[in-house]
Every structure is written in C-alpha cells, then in structure tokens.
Structure 1
Amino acid sequence: MRHNKKFNHLGRTKAHRDAMLSNMASSLILHKRIFTTLAKAKALRMYVEPLINRAKEDTTTSRRVVFGYLQNKYAVTELFKEISVKIADRPGGYTRILKTGNRLGDNAKTCFIELVDYNENMLKEKATKKATRTRRSKKTASAEVAAPAATETPATEEKAAE
C-alpha cells in the first residue's frame, strides 16, 4: 500500500531527479520561461518557489542555501539582484504554468512555466484593457464627435481641389 506517498518521482532516481530540478530551476531563473512537461513543471514549482521566497532576504546564509540547491552562481546572482527586487511585495505564487497541449511523439502534456512578473505580453494586455474601458451611455457623445468629423472631410477635399 502507498498511503501518504504523494511525491512524484518522475521515473528517476533521487540523484538524477535532484540534478534535473536544479538545472531546470537555474534555466527558469536565467531565462524567465521554459518549455517542459506538466509533471516536471509541477515538480519544479514545488522546488523553486521556496528558493525564490528565500531570496527576499539577501544574507550570506540565504545565498549559501540557495547555491546549495542551484549550483550555479550566475543563477544565484540573477535571483538575488533582479528577481528578488520584483517579487519583494508578492506574498507567494511566483510562477505560472500555462498548458500548451500534447507532444506529438509520446502524447505527453506540455506547458510553459514562467516567472509571473516577467511576462511582458500579459503585462501589456493588462495595461490596454484598463485604457479601453467605456460606458454604454456615452454612445451619443461618440456619435456627435463622429458627425462633425464627417462634415469637415468635404471641406478639406474642396481646399485640396483649389
């Protein structure tokens, strides 16, 4: 029986799994978005979010702990210098998983995993959505604005003809 054994081993030994998650976490920190399978992304989220949370406090101890997991000094400096500044006020949920469908070869579920504050496309969409908000009661005002514009067009055409 496997009562209370909810850990996904991902078909690997402990050493292989730790090395894989360390490499994926370093890639996620350096590139801000990676493409992988859904099971690996969920395992990576559980692996990397405590490290990002640890990076909020920039001390020698926290840097050593994070380096023990990542084993990549460039990823550690990126995490503590840039990412920790952006996520300083966020209480959790530093990563987002976006499903992209199934892989052709083996039909595995694939997805993107990305850092939440680094997706420029979604940040631009939020800014445009706020700017384009209108009310229904202003339809008459927009019709009045469009009517004088239509009357000005023939006048400009006459001036161009002269």
Structure 2
Amino acid sequence: MSLSFGSGGTLSYDQFSELALGLEITEQRFLWVVKSPDDKSASESYFSNQSNIDPFDYLPKRFVDRTKSRGLVVPSWAPQVEILRHEQKLNAVMLTEDLKVALRSKANEDGLVRKEEIAKVLKCLFEGEGEEIRERMKRLKEAAAMAVSELTL
C-alpha cells in the first residue's frame, strides 16, 4: 500500500500520529510519503515554507524501527496537484460510492480519523472486501484497455 497526501494534503499533528499507529496495527506492508504535520488550514500549510522541519521528528517513538521490516517512510514531495488535476473529495466519492473500488475511513466528531478506524479500514481492504475490490479493479482495467485498443485501431 502506498500513502501520499499531495502537496496540499497536510495532516494535523494528531492525525499524523494516528495514521502512523494505524499503519503499525495493521502489520501490512506500506510506503508512506510523509510531510511534516501542521495544525494550520490546508491552504496555509500549502503556501508556508516547512522545508527545514523533519517529518520524522513527529512520528511516534521508534515507529520506523518497529515497522522497518514491512514499511518504508519517505520524506519527499510530489506534484500531486499536477498529477491528479481533480478535487480530492469528488474522487473519493466516485471511487467509493460509484465505482466501489475503494474504501473510505470515517473521521470522529473532531474530524480526526483515529488509528482504530484506520486499522479497521485497512484490515477490511486486506482481509475482507479487498478481494471484491481487486476483482472490480481488474474488470475496470480490462475495460479501459479494450476501450483504448479500439481507439488505436
């Protein structure tokens, strides 16, 4: 599994920690592109300069050591806005409700997705509905390949 929240996808300090602990609980393999957490609004964080803050300083103590056999945490930046060119919430709704090829976690009353919810969704993906989701993805991939091949004929 790969996690990246894009250029403007800044997590709060609490959410950053909950996500790390949720990943750890699942015992699944992961790649996480981390950005330092920030309790400012997403737009403020996007335009602020945090290049001198090491995101590893915000991870739970010994998280990297405890997960190094199955996880990789990378401090990096990717041009997510240019890659997606879509509004994230619209994508989430389309993937979870329309296409049913993704699962969506639920935030609590404070807007924080807790580690238990993260672990529940990830376990559901890997041990529950995951097979059905992968099958739907396979069918969509095949349909897209067929559509593209028909365009090139």
Fold shared, TM-score > 0.5 on shorter chain = no
Q: TM-score of the superposition, structure 1-length normalised?
A: 0.28
More strand by share: 1
More helix by share: 1
- Which protein, 1 or 2, shows the higher relative CO under an 8 Å CA cutoff with sep ≥ 6? 2
